[in-house]
Structure 1
């Protein structure tokens, strides 16, 4: 298992997009958590996670995403997910998070859903 994790962020149409790559786990989640905290503090309440390149996620990675989801929802914002595949998709399904999050197979459709 690789402990490689990277993310890119961009902004399109007022939506902050995080493109996650590698393995989001206990050893890699800290910088992501800090980024999400500062994102929330800045008042950004429309977030899209693109998970096509995410190979693995563990409970700490899930926890970071859920924590942001709760904070954003309480401020009438939206957190959505696009291109969830492989092990992360299995975890989301196992934890029934596919019933909590709006998940899109297509990145552009996910982005358009914020309008």
Structure 2
């Protein structure tokens, strides 16, 4: 799993690629914690390169969403496709997150 963060004023972009599962989630957790601690930020989570997500990965993204929203920020998930999209729909998170899906 690879990830990167781009800071643009009051907006952060997080790009996640590869597999976000129980084995790789711990690598992303410090980045998610850092993003969540910044109050009032708008965050775009770009999942274009994400091939696989499991319950640990979903839990990490839900936690980020809840913590950013609690501090007055907003989280948008973009370029969601394939297996991650199927998981989000199965869990009905597409209704919560308002996903921007890949074509």
The TM-score normalised by the length of structure 2 is 0.90
Partner of residue 59, structure 1: 55
Query: Looking at CA atoms only, which structure, 1 or 2, has the larger radius of gyration?
Result: 1
Partner of residue 83, structure 2: 87
Alignment gaps of 5+ in structure 2: none
Partner of residue 21, structure 1: 17
Query: Residue 47 of structure 1 is aligned with which of 43, 56, 81?
Result: 43
Q: Contact 2:12/2:42 (CA < 8 Å) preserved in 1?
A: yes
Shift of 1:75: 1.6
Is 1:10 matched with 2:6? yes
Structure 1 residue runs of 4+, over 3 Å off?
Answer: none
Secondary structure of 1:92's counterpart equals: helix
RMSD between superposed Cα atoms in Å: 1.5
Shift of 1:101: 0.4
Partner of residue 96, structure 2: 100
Segment of structure 1 superposing worse, 35-44 or 57-66: 35-44
Secondary structure of 1:100's counterpart equals: helix
Shift of 1:31: 1.9
Residue 49 and residue 79 in structure 1: after superposition, are their counterparts in 2 closer, same or farther (change >3 A)?
A: same
Q: Give aligned pairs, total.
A: 102
Q: Contact 2:21/2:55 (CA < 8 Å) preserved in 1?
A: yes
Alignment gaps of 5+ in structure 1: 107-115
